Amino acid sequence: MENKQNSYHLPVTGRNILQFALPTIVMTVFNTFYTMVDGLFVSNLIGTDALSAINLTAPAIGLITAVSGMLATGGSAVVMRKMGEGKGEEACQDFTLLILTNVLVGAVMMLLGYTQMDRLLGTMGLSPQVFGFCRDYLGNYLIFTIPILLMYNFSLYLIAADRPKLSLICTVAGGVTNILLDYFLIAVLDLGIRGAAIATGLGYSITAVAGFLVFCQGKNLLHFQRPVFRFGVLFHASANGLSELATALVSGITTLLFNLAMLRFVGEDGVAAITIIMYVLMFVSALFIGYSYGVAPMVSYCHGEGNREKLKKLIAFSIRFILGASLACAAVSILFTEALVSIFTSPDSPVYGLAVTGNRLCSLALIFVGLNVFASGMFTALSNGIVSAVLAFSRSFVFTVACIQLLPLLLGGVTGVWLATPAAELLGAVMAGGFLVRYRKRYGY
């Protein structure tokens, strides 16, 4: 068991931090990449109306995964803090309880999804063709609800259990499976957008199955044990993961608001354009999300140990890395906008011009996204779910909704929609910086 914890005992240097976090970064970026490939196949083989449908169903999918994300991220911090305190058996019991809770949540969310799907889609005023695409995609996606929720959980817990390379392998295998099945189910079997949903579900299921097999083995740092119900564990995991719940919920809401704004100003072509931009931003943001997820177990472990010197070095390096990477990613996204957009749609499409203009403006958000993601994840790892939730909720909902409503009025229509995300991220970064300074002495970083 001791050998499984060696990564947590290494000196805190930039090389060791990146070596620990790199598999998670690659995993998250790759995971986002094959999500983009879904969009690529759908856009080129079915059409931009089908691409719009994937974005229009995103709020429902975000709602389905929101509670699971809360328990996964919040629970990982609780479990690894107990590991740092030397309570290994109790940590494994809590881990098992949290996984079982996620399975139950998945079953409930799947049932709700099927019963409320038509009502949700019917409120958007969609054309019959786009409505049909939405229903086909969401209906087939829901079949895989429980494996998808387990995938999110096991990806994080494999990292926490010092098995980040295995988590990466599972993600790559799932991604390759998804890409191959996308082509086979859409182009060969002609299943249309249903094929895209099935390919996604089967790709995600690989990590769910592999994680289950790994955690059944008692030799691993984390493994299944007979669970002991502790209400405090569920409460602390939920409270600690509030930021992730808030992010998932408000992401669905703000995506819906963006879609409605684009429908109002430029129609369904606008929804397709903003879908392309979201893919680009999501891909670049995955670097920061992957890094934050990758170092979170180290932050929790150092906090549990009470080792402030290691924690200070870890967070100082992380902030420097995030700020440098943020500037580089924003520059790349702006400079290569036309090439990125052309992957999804041809230059003669009405969607192309909208997406090029929008991506250049929205890419400014990448300057601030990294700090916002890391700050929220850091406070979650420090078991301060309240601050993490305030940061996530303010940035993702309060600031974003305010900017979506105000900027189109002030700047004249669609330009204001494009600038809503950069403005919200800027305000979020100011708040994140304030909290980082305020809590510096409490945690010793």
Q: What is the mean pLDDT of residues 219-226?
A: 85
* CA distance linking residue 55 with residue 304, whole number of Å: 40
Q: How confident is the model at residue 329 (pLDDT cuts 50, 70, 90)?
A: very high
pLDDT category at 2 given cuts 50, 70, 90 is very low
Centre a 10 Å sphere on the Cβ of residue 347 and count the other Cβ atoms it contains. 10
Contacts of 381 (CB under 8 A, 6+ apart): 77, 295, 296, 297, 299, 300, 303
Under 8 Å between Cβ of 215 and 18: no
Neighbours of 264 (CB within 10 A): 13
Query: Does residue 84 surpass a pLDDT of 60?
Result: yes
230: Cβ contacts below 8 Å, ≥ 6 apart: 94, 97
**Cα(68)–Cα(78) distance, rounded to whole angstroms?**
15
Instruction: Read off the pLDDT of each residue in 325-331 and give the average, rounded to a whole number.
Output: 94
Residue 5 has pLDDT above 70, yes or no: no
Among residues 380, 396, 374, which one has the least CA distance to residue 322? 374
Whole-number Å distance between alpha carbons of 14 and 7: 13
The DSSP 8-state label assigned to residue 2 in this structure reads G
Q: What does DSSP assign to residue 219?
A: T
CA 33 remoteness from chain centre: 12
Q: Nearest-CA neighbor of 288 among 219, 191, 362, 377?
A: 377
Distance CA 270, CA 258 (A): 10
Cα–Cα distance between 141 and 182 in angstroms, integer? 14
Q: What are phi and psi of 198, to 5 degrees?
A: -65, -40
Mean pLDDT of the chain: 85
Q: How many residues make up the chain in this entry?
A: 445
CB atoms within 10 A of CB 376: 29
Pair 388, 242: CB distance under 8 Å: yes
What are the tens digits of pLDDT across the range 91-148?
A: 889 899 999 998 998 898 899 888 888 887 887 777 888 899 999 999 999 999 999 8
Is the pLDDT confidence value at 350 over 70? yes
